[in-house]
Structure 1
Amino acid sequence: MATFGTLSRALSHRNARIFFGASLTAWTGLWMHRIAVSWLAWELTGSALWVGFVAFCDLAPAVVVSPIAGAVADRADRLRLTMLSQAAIGLNAALIAILVATGWMTIGLLLVLEVVGGTAASFAQPARQSLMPGLVPRADLPAAVALNSLTFNVARFIGPALAGPLIAVAGVWPAIAMNALAYLVATATTPMLRVEAAARRGHAATASLLGETLDGIRYAARHPGLGPILTFAAVAALLLRGVQEILPPYVERTFGLGAGALAVLTASFGVGALVAGLAVAARGRMAGTTRLAVLGVAALAFATAGFVATGWFPLGVLCAAFMGAAGSVHGISVQTVAQNASDPAMRGRVLSLWGLITRACPALGALLLGAAGEIFGLRWPTLVAVALSLLAVGWGLARLPRMAPELEGGAAGR
C-alpha cells in the first residue's frame, strides 16, 4: 500500500497522468451510463426483475469472456487491446443513445446491447490493469493500484452527480451519449502512452488460447492465497453487491423518490468509497491487507442491512456512504494482494478473474434480488443475503492465518 506522498509520486510520471486522466473520463461516463440505463429499464417496465436483467446482461458476459480476455491480455499487445475494447464500448453507447433518442429502444434491444457492452468491458479490464506495471516504476506500483481504485470511485461520485440533473432536465439519452463521448476520448489518448515492449505483452503464445485460459484458472485455484481470497470475494459480491446494481426499485419502493434521489444515493456510494480508499492507501504497508479484505465485507453487510431496514432517506444516504466505504476497503485490498501475489506471467489471467468476480457476481446477485423482490419485496431477501454474507466472513477469518502470508509476501518470495 502507499502513503499520500507515494500517491503523488506515482502521478508525477507522464504515463500515469495520461492513464488515470483517461480512466477518470471514461469511468465518469460509465457511471452516467449505468444510472441512465438502470432508470431507462425501470421506466420501460416498472419491474425490479427487468432492472436486474439489464444489470445482469451488462455484467454477466464476464463469466465466459473474462478468463479468455485475461489469456488474450497475457499474449497480445495490451495497449492495442485496451484501445480497441474502449472504442467498442464508446460506439455501443453511441448506438444506445441514438436508439433511445429516436424512440426505437425496447427492453429486449437494450438487453442485447448491454451484453455487447459488457463483453467489450470484459476485454478492457484485464488489458488496462495489466498495463499498470509498465506505467510507473516498480516501487510505485502499489500506489498505482490504489490510484486506479480511487479514480474509479471519484468517477462514481462525479458521474451520478452529473447524470441525475441531466436525466431530470433532458431525459436519458444525453447521459448515455456522454458515456460514448467519454470512451472515445479515452480511446484517442491511449496511443499517447509510452510503454516498453516487455510491459505491453506478457509472453509469447505457449499453448492454445483455451489452454492458457485453463492454466490461469488452475494457477489461481491452486494458489494457497489467491484461491481462497478470490472465492471469498466472489461470494461476498454475489450476496451484497446486487443491491447497488438495481437501485431504482429501492429508491421508489423503499423511499418513494425518483431519479434525483437515485443520483444522490449513487454519489453517496462514491463519496464513502473515495474517503475509505484514501485511508487504505495511506496505510503505507502490505501487512494486514488481507484482514482488511475480510473485515470490509463484514462492514458492508451491516451497512447494507441498515440501508434496507430504513425508510428514512437521510439515513439511507448515510448507509449508502458506509456501503461505498466498506466496498472500497474490500476491493482495494483484494486487488492489491492479487497484484502482489501473482506471478507476472499470470497477472493478466488473475486480474481477469478479479474482473469476472466484480462484474458477473453482482450481476447474478442483482438478478436473484430482482426476482425475489417481485415475490417477497426487496427488504427480506436482502436481509437474508446479509446473514449469509456474515457466515462467509466467519469462514474468511478462519482461513486468514493461512491466506495472509501467501498474499502479502509477494510472488517473488516463493
Structure 2
Amino acid sequence: MSIKHIGPRVLTQAFRSLKTRNYRLFWFGQLVSLTGTWMQDVALGWLVLSLTDSAVALGLTMTIRFLPALLFSLHGGVLADRLPKRRTLIVTQVTQLAVALALAVLYSTELVTVTIIYVLAGLRGLVDAIEGPTRQAFVPEMVGTTDLPNAVALNSTLFNGARIVGPAIAAVVISTLGMAACFYVNAVSFAAVIAGLAAMRLTELHAVPRAPRDKALRQLREGLRYARSTPEVVVIFIVMAAVGTFGYNFQTTIPLVTKYVLVAGPSTLALLFSSMGAGSVLAGLVAAYRGKPSQRLLLGAAGCFVVLLALAGLSVWRAVTAALLLLVGFAGVLCMTAANTRLQLQVPGHLRGRVMGIYILLFIGMTPIGSFLCGQLAEHVGGGGATGVRATVLITAGLCAVGVVTAFIYARRPASRAQAGLRPEPAFSADAEQWTAVSADDLERGRGTA
C-alpha cells in the first residue's frame, strides 16, 4: 500500500458512521446547533462578569445551569427508555430554541438582568436533563452496535469542533455586532437539529427493545441496581464523577483565568476555548480511527488530564496556557470517549436510557457542585484575584486526582477475582429480559451475553 493511499483510508475509517443517512443528518444538525451554543456560552459568561464583576455570580450561573441534571437526569433516563427518542428530541430542541430566543430578545431590549439569566439557565438545564440521556441512547438506534464506537467518537469530535468554531466566531461577532447577535444565532441554530430529526427515515432506525410500562421508581431502581452490580460500569462512573465534578468546570474557570490571571479580554477567552477545542477534536479523530477503547486508555487519559489541568493552573503566560489547554482537551476527550463507548457497548438496550441518565448525572449533573466550589474558592482563597483563581484550579485538580486513583484501585478488584477463578454474579434478572454482568471486552470477543 503506497503512502498516498493512507490518507483517504484513514479518513474513511475515521468517518465511517457518516455513511449512515440518519446519523449524518443528526451529526451535521448537531454541529450547527452546538456551534451556536458555544457562541452563546462565551457571550453569556462574559455578560455575567460584565454585569457583576463577580466570580461567585459566574459560578452560580453554571450551578443553576447544571443543577437540573443533578436533580432530574435519572428520571430523564427513565423517559428515554419509555418514549420514542426521535420525537422526544424534537420537542426538547423546540423548547431550547424558545429559551435561547427569549434571552436574545431580553438582551437586545436591555431588559436582561442577572436574575433573568439565572431563570433561563435553569430552564435550559431542565430541558437538558431529558435531552441528554435521550440523545445518548438514540445513537445506537441510528448506527447499530458495529459502528457505535466510531459514532461516539465522532459525537465528541463534533462537540469539540463546535468548541473551536463557536468561540472564534463569537469573538468576531461580539466585537463587530455585539452580544445580542450571538444569542440570536444560537436560537436559529436549533432549527438545523429539528430539520435533521424530522428528515430521518424511520424504517432505517435500528430496533431497540423499549422498557415495559412500569412504575418510574421501580424502573429507576432497576437501572441503579444494574450499574452498581457491574464492575466495568462502576469504574466508569467513578472516573466520570470525579472529572465531571472537579475537572470539567471550564465554563467557570477559563473566564476567570482570562480576566484575573492573564488580565485579558474576549479575544483571549475565545483563544483559550478554541485551543482546548482543537486538542479535543484531534482526540476525537484519533478515537474514531482506533475503534473500541480499553480500560487502560480510560484511566491513563484521566490521569494525564489531571496533571495537565494542574499545570494550566500554574501558567501565567497566554501562549503556555493555550498550549496546555490544547493538551487538556486532548486528554479529556480521550477519557470521555473511552468512558462513553465502553458504557454504550456494555449496557443492554432496554436499560440504556437509564444508565446513560446516571452517566449524565455524574458527568454533567455534578457540575453545579464544582462550579459553585470554583466560584467560592476563586473569590475567597488567597484574597481572590489571580492567586485565588490559581489556587482554585490546583485544588480542583487535586480532588479530581483522588477520584481517578480510586477508580484505578477499584479496577484492580475484578482482575483479582478473575485470577482467583471467580465469575461475576448475575447483577439482575427482569421478567422482560435476562442479562448478566459482563465486561465490554467480553462483549467484543463474544464470550458474554447481554
TM over 0.5: yes
Matched residue type, 1:221: R
Residue in 1 aligned with 2:397? 386
**1:128–1:383 distance in 2 versus 1, CA, 3 Å:** same
Among 364, 376, 379, which residue is 1:374 paired with? Answer: 379
Show the counterpart of 1:330: 335
Contact in 1 for aligned 2:149/2:292 (Cα 8 Å): no
Residue 102 of structure 1: CA displacement?
0.6
Query: How far apart, in 2, do the equivalents of 1:403 and 1:109 lie?
Result: 49
The Cα shift of 1:390 comes to 2.4
Residues 38 and 224 of structure 1: CA distance in aligned 2, closer, same or farther (over 3 Å): same
**Measured at CA, do residues 72 and 113 of structure 1 come closer, stay the same or move farther in structure 2, by a change above 3 Å?**
same
2:252·2:375 contact (CA, 8 Å) conserved in 1? no
Superposed CA deviations along residues 75-109 of structure 1, whole A, max 9, x for unmatched, are 10111000000111111000011101111111011
Query: Which residue of the partner structure matches residue 38 of structure 2?
Result: 31
Aligned alpha-carbon RMSD (Å): 2.1
1:143 is aligned, of 131, 147, 150, to 150
Q: Which residue of 1 aligns with 2:221?
A: 214
Amino acid paired to 1:54: T
Alignment-derived partner of residue 340 in structure 1? 345
| Secondary structure of the corresponding residue to residue 365 of structure 1 | helix
Supply the AA of the counterpart residue of 1:406. S
SS at match of 1:60: helix
**Counterpart position of 2:249:** 242
Deviates more, 1:11-20 or 1:401-410: 401-410
Select which of 387, 401, 406 maps to 2:439: 406
What per-residue deviation string (whole Å, max 9, x for no partner) do you get for residues 90-130 of structure 1? 11000011101111111011001100011112211222222
Match of 1:9 in 2: 16
CA distance in 2, matches of 1:366, 1:240: 10
Q: What TM-score do the two structures reach when normalised by structure 2? A: 0.86
Q: Which has the higher mean CA deviation after the structures are superposed, 192-201 or 121-130?
A: 192-201
Give the Cα–Cα distance (whole angstroms) in 1 for the partners of residues 121 and 205 of structure 2: 34
Q: 1:396 aligns with which of 403, 407, 413?
A: 407
- In structure 2, distance between residues paired with 1:360 and 1:245: 15
Q: Any residues of structure 2 matched to 1:208-357 within 5 Å, and which?
A: 208-286=215-293, 289-357=294-362
One-letter identity of the residue aligned with 2:399: L
User: Deviation at 1:36?
Assistant: 1.3
Deviation at 1:396, TM superposition (A): 2.2
Q: 1:201 to 1:89 in 2, by over 3 A?
A: farther
Which residue, 179, 187, 190 being the options, matches 2:186? 179
One-letter code aligned to 1:387: G
Q: Deviations over 1:352-406 (max 9, x none)?
A: 2222223222332111011111101111132122223223322222233446872
What SS is found at the alignment partner of 1:256? coil
Tell me the CA shift for residue 151 of structure 1: 1.1
Distance in 1, Cα, partners of 2:368 & 2:331? 19
Offset at residue 232 of structure 1 (A):
2.3
Asked whether the equivalents of residues 131 and 199 of structure 1 are also in contact (C-alpha less than 8 Å), the reply is no
Task: Tell me how far apart the structure 2 counterparts of residues 327 and 175 of structure 1 sit (CA, whole Å).
Answer: 27
Counterpart of 2:425?
none
Q: How far is the alpha carbon of 1:3 from its aligned partner?
A: 6.8
- What CA distance in whole angstroms lies between the structure 1 residues aligned with 2:281 and 2:156? 9
Q: Distance in 2 between matches of 1:357 and 1:241?
A: 11
Residue 113 of structure 2 aligns with an amino acid whose one-letter code is T
Maintained 8 Å contact 1:71/1:213: yes
How big is the shift at 1:212?
Answer: 1.5
Q: Which runs of 5+ in 1 are unaligned?
A: none
Tell me the percent identity.
Answer: 28
Deviations 1:51-96 (A, max 9, x none): 0111111112101121111110101011100000011111100001
Counterpart CA distance in 1 for 2:302 and 2:228 is 21
Q: Any idea what the Cα deviations from partners look like across 1:195-218, whole Å, max 9, x if unmatched?
A: 349857742533112321232222
Q: Is the 8 A contact 1:56 1:360 kept in 2?
A: no
Q: TM-score, normalised by structure 1?
A: 0.94
SS of corresponding position for 2:143: coil
Go from structure 1 to structure 2 and tell me whether the alpha carbon gap of 1:39 and 1:325 turns closer, same or farther (over 3 Å shift): same
Which structure 2 residue ranges, 5 or more long, are not aligned? 1-8, 382-387, 416-437
> CA contact under 8 A between 1:225 and 1:402: conserved in structure 2?
no
Task: Give the paired residue count.
Answer: 411
Larger radius of gyration: 2
Is the CA contact (8 Å cut-off) linking 1:83 and 1:190 kept in structure 2? yes
Aligned pairs for 1:40-51 (under 5 A) are: 40-51=47-58
CA contact (8 A) 2:15 2:154 kept: no
Aligned twin of 1:120: 127
Alignment check: 8 A CA contact 1:55 1:246 kept: no
Question: CA separation in 2, counterparts of 1:101 and 1:408?
Answer: 53
Q: Give 1:31 shift.
A: 0.9
